[in-house]
Structure 1
Amino acid sequence: MNPLSVLRDSLYFFRRNLVSIVQLCLPLVVLESVCKQLVDQATGTEASPAYDVLVGLLFYPLYTAALILFLDARSQGREPQKRDLLAMALRLWPTFALLAAMSTLLIMLGISMFVLPGMWVMIKLVFAEYLLVLRGLTPLAAMRESFELSQGHFWRILACILAVLAPLWLLDGLSLMVYPQPQSPALSLLLDSINSFLQLFTSVVLFRLFMLVAEPVPGNPAQ
């Protein structure tokens, strides 16, 4: 499981299906950014980051579950209807939101213990979302199974995640240099939406890793 091969295959898939992913996820990503702006305006600049986390828990499970279902369908050569994917994502929202909340709390707890424990927890939980959406596991069972599946693959997973996030962090930093705070609401919305959408590539990479690490499923080749 070469990280470069995983990234190459994921980038090929992302580019090949970019239009479908944009149509499926971008409206929800933009709506999430709008809601975050409204919350920030209502609570002020010194408000707790917990407000953004709560807004994320409303939207992140929807577009991420829809994307995972799309990735699974396309990997099997199927062309799913976007409304069907969103309907299934909506049904999964309660358990997915619970999983996201539990994972966020564990990661934040780990980060409070000098960062490295938080990163370790994050890596160990990378497959939990796929196990919940694709195998129907409960949040706790998905987290436990993810810990087992990620065993022996820590550095490969970390390398793939950093290879995706590092350029996005750099792009975010450059955008702040070119367009420093305070930004206009429209510009802030645009930059936040673009950054959040590009982060979805991480889900594509982790899905590819999940396919390689999990037990092979007949008729589930990478496209």
Structure 2
Amino acid sequence: MSEQGSGHRLLVVDDDNDIRLMLAEQLSKAGYSVSTASNGQEMRRTLDREHADLIVLDLNLPREDGLALCRELRSRASTPVIMLTARSEPIDRVLGLEMGADDYLTKPFEPRELLARIRNVLRRTHSLPANLQAISGGVAQFSGWTLDLQKRHLIDPRGRVVVLSGAEFRLLRVFISHPNRVLTREQLVSLSTGRPYESQHRAIDLQVSRLRHKLGDDQAESALIKTVRNEGYVLAAAVSMK
């Protein structure tokens, strides 16, 4: 049953031993190299000694929950994360995606469904052109603003910290990675979330609006993030990296 999973290494983090063993067996049969961990501490030890192309992360872990671990993973790397949970409330899905998860699956689930989602996330992650990859470290300065990509701090021209949600941070990171370049809605969604663009929802327009508000960008004529009719959005500013 080995297929295109060959060559990719996965890390499954779940405190349920039966689920870990079942997923390791099923994903190995699909051609993936699989490591497992039962908690955050084991996850860190595993990542310190080996690379992971994607992490399957349980939300309800002992001591450190999956949301906190997902936020930590996002602060240090762009490794895709698929979150598992026994809870089906919409707020859990929203929180998981806000913390940086690339997809979300509710237990109980069919292993085949998880396998399909892993393939989709990996395909989207590795299909982005090299010249559209977002930068992942350093400090960016633009129009008096400063974004620390390691600490995830946005500082306004007066030196005040502006709090960004996970989605806002990822979107701003995409814009500063490609200044003065028009980015389509499809590109913004792919680069900031790794998920496909759903044109009927137009959620990306709302996220851009919220980010503009955080940047004090309420006047269209002086906007840092400008709308390009029938094309997308552009960060109209020079960006310097340190």
Which structure features the higher share of helix residues? 1
Decide: shared fold, TM above 0.5. Answer: no
Which structure features the higher share of strand residues? 2
TM-score (norm 2): 0.25
TM-score (norm 1): 0.27
Highest CA radius of gyration, 1 or 2? 2
